[in-house]
Amino acid sequence: MSIPSRMLPKVSLHCHPTGSVLPGTVLDPARKYGVAPPGGRGAADLYDIDSHEVVDEFLRAGGASRIAAHRPDQ
């Protein structure tokens, strides 16, 4: 039996984290595991016009990898 393409799940093939991730998704685990956002920025700062620079700086600083290194049960 074939399924019409309109019935199949769709995926995003090109997605920028800056516009698709809520600030809390980044900041909550950062706080939990003691990883400070660059410059002590908070959630409101992630929505300003240059927010991509905040996320890029955080990723370059290794913040995301330090959060990911924690097991979910910790």
pLDDT tens figures, 33-47: 887 766 666 666 666
Confidence band of 53 (pLDDT split at 50, 70, 90): low
Q: Measured between alpha carbons, how far is 55 from 17 in angstroms, rounded to an integer?
A: 8
Is the CB of residue 58 less than 8 Å from the CB of residue 38? Answer: yes
Q: Please calculate the CA angle 58-60-65 and round it to the nearest 5 degrees.
A: 75
Q: Measured between alpha carbons, how far is 55 from 18 in angstroms, rounded to an integer?
A: 7
Confidence band of 59 (pLDDT split at 50, 70, 90): low
pLDDT of residue 14: 72
Position 32 pLDDT exceeds 70: yes
pLDDT of residue 19: 64
- Residue 37: CB atoms within 10 Å: 21
Q: What is the mean pLDDT of residues 20-31?
A: 76
